[in-house]
Amino acid sequence: MLFSDLVVIGGGPAGMSAALAAAGHGIKVTLLERMESLGGQLVKQTHRFFGSESEYAGTRGIRIADILREKVESNRLIDCRRGSTALGIYEDGVVTFEEGTQYKKVNMDRLVVATGASEKMLVFEGNDLPGVYGAGAVQTLMNLYGVLPGRKVLMVGAGNIGLIVTYQLLQAGVRVAAIVDAADHIGGYLVHASKVRRCGVPVLLGTTIRAALGTTEVEGAVIQKLDSHFHPIPGTEQRLDVDTVCLSVGLSPLTELLRLAGCKMRYIPALGGFVPVHNSYMQTSRSDIFVAGDASCVEEASSAMMEGAIAGLSAAISLHVPSAGILEQRERRIRELAALRAGDVGAKIRNGLAVMAD
Amino acid sequence: MRIQQHPILNFEPAEEIPFYFEGKKLTGKLGDTIASALHANNIRMLRHEHRPRGLFCAIGNCASCLMEVDGRPNVRVCVEKLRPGMVVKIQKGNGTLGKEEK
Ligand SMILES: Cc1cc2nc3c(=O)[nH]c(=O)nc-3n(C[C@H](O)[C@H](O)[C@H](O)COP(=O)(O)OP(=O)(O)OC[C@H]3O[C@@H](n4cnc5c(N)ncnc54)[C@H](O)[C@@H]3O)c2cc1C
């Protein structure tokens, strides 16, 4: 059995920030990351980030991952365990995890869960065929392993992820037949949309995918127009000659561990689905468990890093460490996070959090 | 298929790793997962359970890419690193335990 003041589950931007914030005040941290390397979603983001200046806006995601990773790996208070998947959280403060082929336990006083999110599925005929991927998978294949998912792609979803991954496909030399989105407007930032349009990729709004065609893998796709009530308009079916369908229809928080630990959950669509109820200190209904990043509400890497810092500081504060300036530091991070969400783009999150608070 | 040229990323030539897929000898590269090596060889059908299945999330979240590797069923090939000489098979149904090669 290992012992640690604080266990952090997940080594993405949120988890790394939590570990660094707590270690900065002398707390001994055990960081569990199931992958062989730290970084979470950032390790495949080749584009320059939007978001907050203080959280590296304008820097490519992969570079942000490097910066955080170097800080975490050189911090002597952080026991960084890669290839370690957290499996369970028990009432007595034991967290179990799988490391290689071994089953291990760590006893903690405080826990930060920063497990990120998983991609949403969409219901259509043939959605289980090989060649239908989540956008994150396409990014992983291309940007991490240098392998192409196919030759010609239909992208479903015109949010930021759909637009960015489309651009990354073009950069890798893959053709994109079209981007379809059921909504009547583009969800992502217009800078990203203009970029792909300039490359000649049509963005078809009020349009959805009806079927992926093929017997052993995708050999085509059928798209169809929708009316203002999202009903398919008969006779508008169109067959596209593609070998790959890429879905970027949103993420849902990975919260199984929190549920298992008995944290109160609530269904709030604006935050990505079932989310752990938490306060502005990122504390859940279990006073020893904190959350951060996409696991707490699906947002972006800038907010994930700020939430991570708040969660790490809150865990340290609740352990009663006498550390100068820690309360002020947390207040500053909370103010920064509020400022990040102040604009139009943050309205959805603000509304979701308001629902959670009452 | 592998990316030939990329404006931002640089894929250095890496050591080749031989492995077997359905009895056929293929090569992947050092750093590949089993799934990325198969995709580089244009193989996308990884499992068959009533219907063909392939890679979906690539980060070990979903259970779409389970294959039989060295006799061990239910290996998530999207996160399992490729090693020389691995014997990789399309998994039919749920797979059976107890066939592991020692
Ligand atoms: C295509 C795309 C483009 C994006 N572009 C931007 C952008 O331009 N700007 C921006 O701010 N954001 C962007 N984002 C969003 C950003 O990447 C995420 O919001 C951010 O990575 C969330 O951080 P996180 O730490 O909460 O989760 P993640 O980065 O998902 O990290 C979670 C980590 O937890 C690990 N984990 C999960 N379960 C376990 C377990 N049981 N045990 C151990 N480890 C576990 C995972 O392996 C992972 O490493 C983009 C996302 C995508 C997909």
Task: Check which CATH number belongs to the domain holding A134 and give it.
Answer: 3.50.50.60
Q: Could you tell me if A40 and A137 lie in one domain? A: no
- Contact residues on chain B for A253, CB-CB shorter than 8 A: none
- Tell me, yes or no, if B4 comes closer than 8 A to chain A by beta carbon: yes
Query: Is residue A7 in contact with ligand 1, taking CB distance under 6 Å?
Result: no
C-alpha to C-alpha distance for A154 and A242, rounded to whole angstroms: 7
> What distances in angstroms separate CA A92 from CA A105, A177, B89, one per listed residue?
12, 54, 42
Going by C-alpha positions, the residue among B46, B50, B48 that lies closest to residue B38 is B46
| A107 shares its domain with A29 | yes
> Do A167 and A95 share a structural domain?
no
Q: In CATH, which of 1.10.275.10, 1.10.540.10, 3.40.190.290, 3.10.20.440 is domain B16-93? A: 3.10.20.440
Q: Which residue in the set A34, A142, A217 is minimally distant from B3, CB to CB? A: A142
Whether the predicted pLDDT of B14 surpasses 70: yes
Contact between B36 and A149 using a beta-carbon 8 Å cutoff: no
Q: What is the pLDDT of residue A333?
A: 96
Ligand 1 center from residue A234 Cα (angstroms): 39
Q: Report the atom number in ligand 1 closest to the C-alpha of A87.
A: 41
- Please give the mean pLDDT across all residues of chain B: 91
Per-residue confidence (pLDDT) for residue A248, from 0 to 100: 97
pLDDT at A49: 75
CB contact under 8 A, B57 and A36: no
Look at residue A14 in the predicted model and tell me its pLDDT: 98
Residue B21 Cα to ligand 1 midpoint, Å, equals 32
From A247, A262, A281, the end of a domain falls on A247
**Residue linked to tokens 């102040």:** A342
Domain that holds residue A141: 121-247
Q: What is the mean pLDDT of chain A?
A: 94
A217-231, B48-62, B87-101: which is most confident:
A217-231
Last residue of a domain, one of A247, A279, A299: A247
Q: Could you give the CA distance from residue A24 to residue A34 in angstroms, rounded to a whole number?
A: 24
Q: Is B85 on the interface with A (CB under 8 A)?
A: no
pLDDT > 70: what percent of chain A?
Answer: 98
Chain-chain contact of B56 with A132 (C-beta, under 8 angstroms) = yes
Q: What is the pLDDT of residue A141?
A: 95
> Could you give the CA distance from residue A207 to residue A180 in angstroms, rounded to a whole number?
6
pLDDT at A274: 96
**How far, in Å, from the CA of A39 to the mean position of ligand 1?**
8
Q: CA distances (Å), B64 to each of A84, A85, A198, B80, in order?
A: 21, 19, 35, 14
Say what the pLDDT of residue B65 is.
95
pLDDT the model gives residue B102 = 46
**Do A42 and A16 fall into the same domain?**
yes
Contact A176, A151 (CB under 8 A): no
Which of A247, A275, A293 marks a domain boundary? A247
Q: Which residue has the higher pLDDT, A56 or B17?
A: B17
Which residues, given as ranges, of chain A have pLDDT below 50?
Answer: none
Integer Cα distance of A85 and A83 in angstroms: 7
Hey, of A66, A101, A140, which one would you mutate to test binding to chain B, going by the most B CBs within 10 A of its CB? Answer: A140
Does the C-beta of A15 come closer than 6 Å to ligand 1?
yes
Is it the case that residue B98 has pLDDT exceeding 90?
no
